[in-house]
Amino acid sequence: MNSTAPSDAGHFSLDHRLLRRRFERAASHYDEADVVMREISRRMDERLDYIRIEPRRILDLGCGTGADLPRLAQRFPQATLLAADFAAPMVARAGVRLQAEAPQPGLLRRLLGGTPPPPPHLVASADALPLARGSLGLVWSNLMFPALDDPLPALKEIHRTLEVGGLLMFSTLGPDSLKELRACLPGAAGERVHRFIDMHDLGDALVGAGFSDPVMDMEILTLTYADLDGLLHDLRASGAANAASTRPRGLSGRAGWAKARAAYEALRQNGRLPATLEIIQGHAWKAAPKTTEDGRSIVRFQPRPTAR
């Protein structure tokens, strides 16, 4: 799909109520259709092998059913895990996983009848998190950005909630994702396939939100399907079907669908239909501020070297 560059960002918006309803409906069977997220989660976790960080509090933002929480708990056993998503049924399932990953009370506490409070799981939008400024050491976000019209407000909110030296680790989809489907569906009546932001525009948004040293890379992942219905089923089951405000409400009847199916069928290779995903992974740090909130410069004094 076309990139959401600054020049055309105003022409793309999402129907957020529809998007939320789809993710709410998808919660009960979401884990059956999240193969891609599991693979990306594994690759994101591998990147942490090369990053030195010991966060005290971690937020899984856009947590879905919380399938990434066990991985985070294993890597950071001393950290407090939090989960947030805008779809309440997803958060409820993530809460069950959070409870399973929470440290169990010791023998004395059990004997006294006390139990620790359950870890927080929050129904919240990415651009309005009910968390204190500087309260997080790591924000982990696996394929949440495609649910945003514009990533900048969410990135500013993530930056606000991170402590100085905190890390944002994320993945998202780039413009070439679902390019085969986009090419086969008629586009004259409106956007039929979701847009995905270009990596360079995302980098600009990270810097604009105040992050320093953003690092991103891109790779192509090609899924294959026995038929087009398999791809469409996975998109619906994961709540990822097109939710553009300008989406057309039909496909010119049976003739339109037949033409689209025939066009996609022409792409078959070795008995399978391809579906491209452009995977973008990245991370960025919250550096110490150079100015105060009212715009005054911050000057840091270093101790003088002791005379010998």
Q: What is the DSSP letter of 151?
A: H
- Specify whether the CB–CB gap between 243 and 192 falls below 8 A: no
Q: Rounded to two decimals, what is the model's pTM? A: 0.84
Model confidence at 219, pLDDT cuts 50, 70, 90, reads very high
Return d(Cα 23, Cα 27) in angstroms, integer: 6
- Specify whether the CB–CB gap between 3 and 201 falls below 8 A: yes
Four-CA torsion 143, 145, 147, 149, nearest 10 degrees: -160
Phi then psi for residue 2, to 5 deg, are -70, 150
- Specify whether the CB–CB gap between 57 and 135 falls below 8 A: yes
- Specify whether the CB–CB gap between 82 and 122 falls below 8 A: yes
Q: For 232-243, what is the mean pLDDT?
A: 84
Count of alpha carbons within 13 angstroms of residue 237, beta-carbon side: 14
- Give per-residue pLDDT as tens, 183-196: 998 765 556 788 88
- Give per-residue pLDDT as tens, 248-296: 665 556 787 888 899 999 999 999 999 999 999 999 999 987 655 555 5
Q: For 147-176, what is the mean pLDDT?
A: 96
Beta strands in 86-211 (DSSP E): 121-123, 136-142, 162-173
pLDDT exceeding 90 applies to what percent of the chain? 60
Q: Two tokens at 76?
A: 């950071």
Q: Two tokens at 42?
A: 């594994």
What is the pLDDT at residue 298? Answer: 47
CB burial of 180-212 (b: ≥16 within 10 Å; e: otherwise) equals bbbebbeeeeebbbbbbbbbebbbbbbeebbbe
Four-CA torsion 236, 191, 154, 178, nearest 10 degrees: 60
- Of residues 16 and 109, the one with the higher pLDDT is 16
**CA angle, residues 87, 140, 178, in degrees to nearest 5:** 70
What is the pLDDT at residue 51? Answer: 94
Beta strands in 106-211 (DSSP E): 121-123, 136-142, 162-173
